[in-house]
Amino acid sequence: MSAARERFLVSAAGAEWYATPSGHLRHTANLWPATGDWVTLRDRAIIEAVLPRTTAISRKRAGTGFDEQVLAANVDLLLIVTGLDHDYNPRRLERYLTLAAESRAAPLVVLNKIDLHDSVATFVDETAHLCGGNVVAVSARTGEGCDALASRFAPGTTAALIGSSGAGKSTLLNRLLGRDRMRTGEVRESDQRGRHTTTHRELLTLPNGAFVIDMPGLRELQLWADPESVGEAFAEIEDLARQCRYRDCQHQGEPGCAVMEGADPARLASYQKLHRELAHLERQQDVHASLAEKRKWKAIHKAMRHKP
């Protein structure tokens, strides 16, 4: 299923059509439809229920609120696409890898635009250190490395492409599909930033029977995750932490801190920053949940006072 606002493109038995959520689903459902969901239909055009998900790619909704935004569901393989131009940013990759750890989808970093560099091996080595070796280098423009990437898609499984605008996701997807299915745009020469050529999330079928979800470039990625997911994205720091002298070590200069002695300073700073961010999110969620509970009981008591 593909999503665009509140109209959802559903497919079954080789056919596709649009459907809208039922009134009951709008007001009572815990799961709102997202791209990649399996749903039940009534009269073909009404979505009655969303079936349980195996995975969910989520972020904190953009803005000042504290709500979850599900970007895609039931994803087996998350392709984190980054261009080897001004788009390449190890700290941003760490955020995406934390998102993947939370979603339980297997991550694969795709280094695109290798035709722009002679020293691609340096980028591959640095990225492999971040993601445990799950990295593929390609050029969506020339096709180099795309066959190796395509071999990662098993028939019947679902992959999703995520990354910033201008990383080349749509061009890469066109290459994988074998046709110009997705509209592409040029990047600006001044800062290598791209136009948002994908404006909604869509699920497509690859020639070998695998499915792939293309998502718009994200201007911001505010994590929606458990702090444990940070540990999965920084496995070497977690391993060092188990060697610290004190079990509650904060890795901020305590004596016998194995993390301070052995971790890469940039990685450690990113690890601590993400932990602080998620701790703040957790505190704000508690505050909002408490306020919502108070509003609910206030409304109940008010209704009881006016009851004849």
Checking if the pLDDT of 37 tops 70, the result is yes
SS3 107: strand
Residue 117 tokens, joined: 């560099």
Checking if the pLDDT of 64 tops 70, the result is no
Higher pLDDT, 291 or 72: 72
- The ranges assigned to domains in the chain are 2-52, 57-214, 234-303
Checking if the pLDDT of 76 tops 60, the result is yes
CATH class given for the domain over 57-214: alpha beta
Cβ(234)–Cβ(94) below 8 Å = yes
Flag the least confident range among 69-78, 178-187, 237-246: 178-187
The whole-chain average pLDDT of the chain stands at 82
Confidence of residue 61 (pLDDT cuts 50, 70, 90): confident
Checking if the pLDDT of 153 tops 70, the result is yes
Checking if the pLDDT of 286 tops 70, the result is no
Higher pLDDT, 63 or 133: 133
Confidence of residue 59 (pLDDT cuts 50, 70, 90): confident
Checking if the pLDDT of 289 tops 60, the result is no
For residues 261-270, give the mean pLDDT: 94
Could you report the per-residue pLDDT of 159-200, keeping only the tens digit for each? 999 988 888 888 999 999 987 664 444 444 444 333 333 346
Look at residue 16 in the predicted model and tell me its pLDDT. Answer: 85
Q: Where are the beta strands (DSSP E) in the chain?
A: 2-4, 7-12, 15-21, 39-42, 46-50, 56-60, 68-73, 77-83, 106-112, 135-137, 158-162, 202-205, 211-214
Look at residue 242 in the predicted model and tell me its pLDDT. Answer: 93
Non-local CB neighbours of 229 within 8 Å, separated by 6+ positions: 98, 99, 101, 102
Non-local CB neighbours of 216 within 8 Å, separated by 6+ positions: 165, 196, 198, 199, 200, 201
Give Cα separations from 168 to 78, 139, 213, 218 (angstroms).
15, 9, 14, 13
Look at residue 185 in the predicted model and tell me its pLDDT. Answer: 45
For residues 197-205, give the mean pLDDT: 67
For residues 78-101, give the mean pLDDT: 91
Report angle CA 279, 71, 133 to the nearest 5 degrees: 75
Alpha-carbon distance 133 to 131, whole Å? 6
Alpha-carbon distance 23 to 2, whole Å? 20
Checking if the pLDDT of 300 tops 60, the result is no
Percent of the chain at pLDDT > 70 equals 80
Residue 120 tokens, joined: 């691609």
